[in-house]
């Protein structure tokens, strides 16, 4: 297991993002690491611009994730992994440290699912919606696209390789961001196309509060990526938060212990980004690799 830590800033903001654990997809890796690094950097800068201007952690994580959803190299929004029938079904979630949360599962028409998740949180009395229709999106001013918008040729090729047995179904493609703003508030956002070749209607951990995403002020904000079913069974994000909140565990210690008990010992892999209540950042994964960017200033540290 690999863990990277960034020290807490002196009262300033912190930001971290991930572009999935497990490494690059063969069909998307022809140009090497550079395009992925550029995508991570663009997403980080979008979020940091919000924080540097005094914006909220929620605004920062949503801005960050939206850039990744628009980049076809990552498994979220356009360029998302495809189901067994060749369609894109998208999940997303947002959560603030004050305890508010919104999520969407099997979204098919919202260009940016993270915006839809935020809309659920801020403009409805619900926490999660499944397969909201175009009328709902229009009522709330969200951009609507045809389902074909999300499908790219590299993802079609990836699905073919999985269905004919030439490749294993990738379980680690998800994007997310966590932030602590200058006011000490934390937030998390996560977005995904799920697992390549998954059954239509399958929902992973991304939209499940406490599994793939969790945030509580003065404790932690977490966004996860990996074997979604394992993160759900282990309630991984909340388990880490509970260790910190109730057992007074150190952030890195809590992440390490939860991974060992809920993932490694059960033969599952994945990764996460976390920001503590003090702004300290932890990036961890027990998968072969993980895309990430993290920092407490305008220029992040990248891992590709």
Q: Which two structure tokens, joined as six digits, stand for 98?
A: 């004050």
User: Which of 13, 7, 6 minimizes the C-alpha distance to 185?
Assistant: 13
Which candidate in 152, 174, 190, 296 is catalytic?
174
The rounded distance, in Å, linking the Cα atoms of 100 and 80 is 27
**Is there a catalytic annotation at residue 96?**
no
Query: In sequence order, which residues have a C-beta less than 8 Å from that of residue 290 and are 6 or more positions away?
Result: 2, 18, 20, 21, 22, 225, 271, 283, 303
What does residue 230 show for φ and ψ, rounded to 5 degrees? Answer: -70, -40
Q: Which of 6, 17, 3 is nearest to 252 (CA)?
A: 3
**CA quadruple 218, 252, 118, 21: dihedral, nearest 10:** 170
What SS3 class is residue 188? strand
Query: How far apart, in Å, do the first and last CA atoms of the chain sit?
Result: 16
Question: What six digits make up the tokens of 137?
Answer: 């999106």
Name the residues annotated as catalytic.
Answer: 174
């Amino acid at each position: 297991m690999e863990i990277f830590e960034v020290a807490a800033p002196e009262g300033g903001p912190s930001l971290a993002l991930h572009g999935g654990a497990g490494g690059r997809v063969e069909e998307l890796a022809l140009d090497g690491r550079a395009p992925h690094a550029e995508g991570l950097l663009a997403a980080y800068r979008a979020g940091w611009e919000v924080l540097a201007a005094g914006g909220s952690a929620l605004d920062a994580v949503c801005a960050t994730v939206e850039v990744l959803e628009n980049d076809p190299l990552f498994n979220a929004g356009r360029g998302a992994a495809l189901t067994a029938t060749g369609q894109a079904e998208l999940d997303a979630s947002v959560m603030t440290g004050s305890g508010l949360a919104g999520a969407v599962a099997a979204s098919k028409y919202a260009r940016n699912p993270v915006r839809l998740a935020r809309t659920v949180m801020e403009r409805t009395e619900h926490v999660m919606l499944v397969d909201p229709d175009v009328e709902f999106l229009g009522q709330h001013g969200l951009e609507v696209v045809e389902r074909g918008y999300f499908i790219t040729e590299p993802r079609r090729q990836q699905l073919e390789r999985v269905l004919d047995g030439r490749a294993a179904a990738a379980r680690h493609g998800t994007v997310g961001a966590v932030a602590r703003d200058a006011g000490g508030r934390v937030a998390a956002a996560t977005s995904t196309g799920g697992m390549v070749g998954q059954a239509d209607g399958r929902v992973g951990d991304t939209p499940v509060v406490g599994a793939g995403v969790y945030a509580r002020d003065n404790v932690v904000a977490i966004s996860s990526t990996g074997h979604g079913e394992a993160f759900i069974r282990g309630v991984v994000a909340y388990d880490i938060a509970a260790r910190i909140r109730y057992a007074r565990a150190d952030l890195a210690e809590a992440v390490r212990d939860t991974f060992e008990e809920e993932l490694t010992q059960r033969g599952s892999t994945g990764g996460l980004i976390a920001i503590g209540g003090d702004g300290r950042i932890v990036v961890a994964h027990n998968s072969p690799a993980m895309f990430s960017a993290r920092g407490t200033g305008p220029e992040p540290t990248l891992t590709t």
